[in-house]
């Protein structure tokens, strides 16, 4: 049975990304990746010493102030995503929280895949001397990813090309390709 996909509504999936394998000055890096499920665009990668629900709210609030609010937030069940503070904030912002079932990461497979690429292509390839350097390098990688990486679900367009097409008069079939399974 195919999983329903919210194609016409903007869905942002958030997922905690923890990387313990790379040895850096900050022995344990934590971050939050925010990806638009429809456009495959990485909207933000926030790097901090620790991620709490307040930090997630700050990241999402900044994005909402610039891009508008999504209807849904899809996330795993990390403590920062199931915290009462975040869930109350989501209700206040009229966002529906869509948590995946515990132990079923395939329900958030696209974001799991993105985080794997992020880990393999960025985190594992760099030696960050400090958090500021990590933020700069990660932001460069995020922008590069949106501008250069094509997605089969977007008819092999990059996220930036797809978003630009949504703003222009691309045929409806091209705009809706990512909603087809």
pLDDT by residue (tens digit) across 15-43?
444 444 343 433 234 678 899 888 899 99
pLDDT band at 178 (very low <50, low <70, confident <90, very high): very low
Assess contact for 64 and 84: CB atoms under 8 A. no
- Set out the domains of the chain in order of their start, with CATH numbers: 11-175 (3.30.420.10)
Whether the per-residue pLDDT at 176 is higher than 50: the answer is no
Whether the per-residue pLDDT at 8 is higher than 50: the answer is no
Pick 27 or 77 by higher pLDDT: 77
H or E segment to which residue 84 belongs: helix 84-92
Give the residue-averaged pLDDT of 46-62.
83
Per-residue model confidence as pLDDT tens digits over 115-129: 888 888 888 888 888
Provide the pLDDT for residue 109. Answer: 76
DSSP state of 158: E
| Residues 17-50 as b or e (16 or more Cβ within 10 Å = b) | bebeeeebeeeebbbbbbbbbbbbbbbbbbbbee
Average pLDDT across the chain, whole number? 75
């Amino acid at each position: 049975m195919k999983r329903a996909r919210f194609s016409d509504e903007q869905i942002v999936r958030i997922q905690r990304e923890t990387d313990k394998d790379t040895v850096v000055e900050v022995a344990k890096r934590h971050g939050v990746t925010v990806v638009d499920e429809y456009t495959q665009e990485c909207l933000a990668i926030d790097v901090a010493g620790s991620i709490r629900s307040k930090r997630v709210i700050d990241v999402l609030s900044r994005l909402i102030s610039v891009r508008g609010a999504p209807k849904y937030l899809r996330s795993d069940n990390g403590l920062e995503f199931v915290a009462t503070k975040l869930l109350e904030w989501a209700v206040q912002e009229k966002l529906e929280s869509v948590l995946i079932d515990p132990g079923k990461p395939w329900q958030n497979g696209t974001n799991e895949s993105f985080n794997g690429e992020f880990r393999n292509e960025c985190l594992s390839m760099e030696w960050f001397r400090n958090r500021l350097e990590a933020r700069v390098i990660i932001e460069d990688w995020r922008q590069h990813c949106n501008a250069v990486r094509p997605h089969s679900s977007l008819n092999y367009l990059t996220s930036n090309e797809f978003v630009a097409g949504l703003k222009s008069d691309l045929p409806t079939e091209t705009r809706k390709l990512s909603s087809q399974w």
